[in-house]
Amino acid sequence: MCHNLLKTLNQRVIPCYINKVMSSRQSSDFSKFRVALKSAKEIVILSGAGISAESGIPTFRGAGGLWRKYQASALATPGAFRESPSLVWEFYHYRREVAAKAKPNAGHFAIAKFEDNHGSQKKITVITQNVDGLHARAGTKRLIELHGNLYKTRCTKCKEVLVNNDSPICEALANRGAPDSNMVGSDIPVKLLPHCKKAHCGALLRPHIVWFGESLEHDILEAAEHAMSTCDACLVVGTSSVVYPAAMFAPQAASRGAIVAEFNIEPTPATPDFHFYFEGPCGTTLPQALAD
């Protein structure tokens, strides 16, 4: 009974409290936001899966976010790669092919245009949790990819990281990776998967992605933390603010006085901490917010 009462209070009281805080502290006024952005000297744009979803990139999060019968979190681990590198490579081959066919949307282009127009007067840094390369394809130059990139490989032995845009990345993966729920496992021999081409190495390659259970690269994290620690304005774009350490970036910036604006299709747990909230697709709200 107590559990049910607490659940009812959470459902009724907490959303009301959040709405009250949001209405008293926040603004959805594009004109006011543009004025605040104009005075900012260092700006960070922190993007997540939401902006890529508008380009047709699956998020693999929440209900229905499956590839075949697997959750991405079950495949995107060092353990899964050790157990079945062929299955993991099929999953990432599928993701590479989907991302290659996707196109940057109006949100990506709005960010790139803003950097192009104001990058000489302001320090503008895009920090993305996405691995699809769409920001770069849209024209963003000052880019920090927290979780790696689908089009980079890393040798499991010599650790060399290389860009690889081949489609397919190896012949054995041609026409493989379909998200068919009836398919289980992979029968591709490991020797036919991507391997290092160094003469004295030849070890198995893996996607250059930060998997669950792994730490972000030190230099990448340091660069992101430095940008967040000095910015006076931050745009949170299409991210649920639940994956750490990125989840703490914007709230920490807001707590030290930086102006923070969130662009999402729905509020997130961190929304009440921010000064501006713009609800809707990033491809619609960002062009309005970043217009000159």
Q: Is 130 annotated as a binding residue?
A: yes
Integer Cα distance of 198 and 188 in angstroms:
22
Q: Is 92 annotated as a binding residue?
A: yes
Q: Is 214 annotated as a binding residue?
A: no
Please say if 208 is a catalytic residue.
no
Q: Is 266 annotated as a binding residue?
A: yes
Residue 151 backbone phi and psi in degrees, to 5 = -100, 25
Please, which residues have CB within 8 angstroms of residue 134's CB and are 6 or more apart in sequence? 51, 52, 55, 57, 99, 102, 103, 104, 105, 108
Integer Cα distance of 260 and 242 in angstroms:
17
Judge whether 188 and 168 are in contact, CB under 8 Å.
no
Please, which residues have CB within 8 angstroms of residue 249's CB and are 6 or more apart in sequence? 44, 46, 127, 224, 225, 228, 234
Q: Which one of 108, 147, 195, 275 is the catalytic residue?
A: 147
Q: Is 88 annotated as a binding residue?
A: no
Please, which residues have CB within 8 angstroms of residue 162's CB and are 6 or more apart in sequence? 152, 153
Q: Is 234 annotated as a binding residue?
A: no
Angle at 107 between CA 101 and CA 108, to 5 degrees: 55
Q: Is 53 annotated as a binding residue?
A: yes
Q: Is 102 annotated as a binding residue?
A: no
Q: Is 67 annotated as a binding residue?
A: yes
Q: Is 177 annotated as a binding residue?
A: no
Q: Is 279 annotated as a binding residue?
A: no
Q: Is 105 annotated as a binding residue?
A: no
Q: Is 52 annotated as a binding residue?
A: yes
Q: Is 55 annotated as a binding residue?
A: yes
Q: Is 112 annotated as a binding residue?
A: no
Q: Is 170 annotated as a binding residue?
A: no
> In terms of DSSP bridges, do strands 161-163 and 148-155 run parallel, antiparallel, or are they unpaired?
antiparallel
Q: Binding site residues for substrate, as ranges? A: 92, 95
Q: Binding site residues, as ranges? A: 48-67, 92, 95, 129-132, 155, 158, 196, 201, 238-240, 264-266, 282
Q: Binding site residues for NAD(+), as ranges? A: 48-67, 129-132, 238-240, 264-266, 282
Q: Binding site residues for Zn(2+), as ranges? A: 155, 158, 196, 201
Residues assigned a catalytic role:
147
